[in-house]
Amino acid sequence: FAQRIILKPMIRLAEKIIDNEDISSLVDWLQQSDRFTKGEQTLMFEAEWSKWLGCNYSVFVNSGSSANLLVTLALLCSGRLRNKKVIVPAISWVTTVSPAMQLGMTPILCDSDKDDLGLDVDHFEKLCEEHRPSVAFLVHVLGHANKMKQITEICERYNVLLVEDTCEAYGSEHRGQKLGTFGIASTHSFFYGHAMSTIEGGMVSTNDYDLFNLMLSLRSHGWLRDNDELYRQKILEKYDMNEPFLENYFFVYPGLNIRNTDLNAFIGIGQMKKVNDYVSKRNKNYNLYLNNLSEHVWVQRSDTDPVSALSFGLIHENRMKIADALIENNIECRPLICGSIQEHPFWYTRYDKVDLPNATKVHQLGLYVPCHQAMTDEQVNFISDIIKDNV
């Protein structure tokens, strides 16, 4: 008889976050509703999200990547930018950086902080002084805050508009303030595996009334049908549009169609009842990893409490030995997000490489392991033991 191999249960980077109760509620709503495209549920979700985050306005879109595209396009269309230079983080996700490239801006890579993997403050200030950019993007990597006090002071000193990519980090707090509330706008992702999910989805949040209305228009073709009435009338008067019959199909901006649906918004409203609990569990898992591993490998640290950890990041010269051991034990792991952006063809075929020592180290030696809300202490300890046995 052939010997049967019994595999250990897979510990995945993400587990099912939309549960049977969510699905049952959705089915009931689908059976009663006569509209599934963007409508009342979207408005409700945007309002609830804004209240939870602590901002005035939010715009629901079809992904976190689209959220980055939307806010970049809106800033370009706003007339506020003195140039098209934008600082982007070397440790980030491809669609944090690519909108600047796609829209004809000049992206400038900033090295990563040696502890939290966000913007390196010294390099950031040097770039601001040298290039005088109009905009800077940052990423709160794997749920960890950048050094926000220093970064916001630099932005104020050099008149730079700050956008926070908070797709991996909503629910995290820096000195009692939620990430995503420090800059002119922030972006968020509700993709599978994040702290909550709408299947696919994203959000841009802001306190800026004009930017909010500009994004509402750009989200839906460039028309004015979704806008606040005061803003709508101001724009109609600006272009001498006084024929009501034509107003519904009056296009002001070079818009997109990146709306989400009321179906996804309905799921999001249900998920918001659970997000604080999910954040708390991710933070607990992060702290258990930190206690287990801080004396054995480099671990990501920051002035963040709680840490809404997307995953747990670490760096070690034995990365591949660690990764092979994890995979052998049926544990998912990945390189630490994109590694360094400039090591990918989409970047280095267009731009010269620059010296980014911290980001290069992350690219060569970084990885992350599961830290989601469904994990048990036993699983965290099991993964920690495998890592320690292979360093």
- In this structure, which amino acid lies at residue 291? N
Q: Residue 70: what pLDDT?
A: 98
Token pair 């051991």: residue: 325
**Chain centroid, CA 203 distance in Å:** 9
Average pLDDT value for the chain: 96
Q: Token digits for 36?
A: 């599934």
pLDDT grade for 34, boundaries at 50, 70 and 90 = confident
How far is 178 from 186, CA to CA, in rounded Å?
11
Q: Residue 188: what pLDDT?
A: 98
Q: Token digits for 229?
A: 């009435």
**Chain centroid, CA 89 distance in Å:** 13
pLDDT grade for 2, boundaries at 50, 70 and 90 = very low
CB pairs under 8 A, 24+ apart, for 245-250? Answer: 248/223, 249/223, 250/223, 250/224
Residue 10 has phi, psi (to 5 degrees) of -70, 130
Does 381 have pLDDT greater than 70?
A: yes
Mean pLDDT of 115-136: 98
Q: Residue 95: what pLDDT?
A: 97
Q: What is the pLDDT of residues 215-259, one digit of tens each?
A: 999 999 999 999 999 999 999 999 999 999 999 899 999 999 999
Burial 274-288, CB ≥16 within 10 A → b, else e: bbeebbebbbbbbeb
Residues in CB range of 149: below 8 A, 6 or more apart: none
Q: Residue 4: what pLDDT?
A: 43
Q: Residue 270: what pLDDT?
A: 97
Q: Residue 77: what pLDDT?
A: 97
Q: What is the pLDDT of residues 310-353, one digit of tens each?
A: 999 999 999 999 999 999 999 999 999 999 999 999 999 999 99
Mean pLDDT of 53-69: 98
Q: What is the pLDDT of residues 277-321, one digit of tens each?
A: 999 999 999 999 999 999 999 999 999 999 999 999 999 999 999
pLDDT grade for 359, boundaries at 50, 70 and 90 = very high
pLDDT grade for 36, boundaries at 50, 70 and 90 = very high
The CA–CA distances, whole Å, from 311 to 284, 369, 377 equal 12, 6, 15
User: Measured in Å, how far apart are the chain's first and last C-alpha atoms?
Assistant: 38
Q: Residue 187: what pLDDT?
A: 98
Residue 55 · residue 185 · CB < 8 Å: no
Q: Token digits for 160?
A: 């730079």
Residues in CB range of 180: below 8 A, 6 or more apart: 53, 55, 164, 166, 169, 170, 186, 188, 205
Mean pLDDT of 93-121: 98
Residue 117 has phi, psi (to 5 degrees) of 70, 10
Least confident of 7-16, 53-62, 142-151, 379-388: 7-16
Give the percent of the chain with pLDDT over 70. 98
Please name every residue paired with 236 in a beta bridge, in sequence order, or none if there are none. none
Residue 119 · residue 182 · CB < 8 Å: no
Does 82 have pLDDT greater than 90?
A: yes
- Of 371, 373, 379, 388, the closest CA to residue 144 belongs to 371
Q: Residue 7: what pLDDT?
A: 58
- Of 371, 262, 275, 266, the closest CA to residue 17 belongs to 275
Q: What is the pLDDT of residues 178-199, one digit of tens each?
A: 999 999 999 999 998 899 999 9
Q: Token digits for 197?
A: 């999910």
Q: Residue 35: what pLDDT?
A: 87
Does 6 have pLDDT greater than 60?
A: no
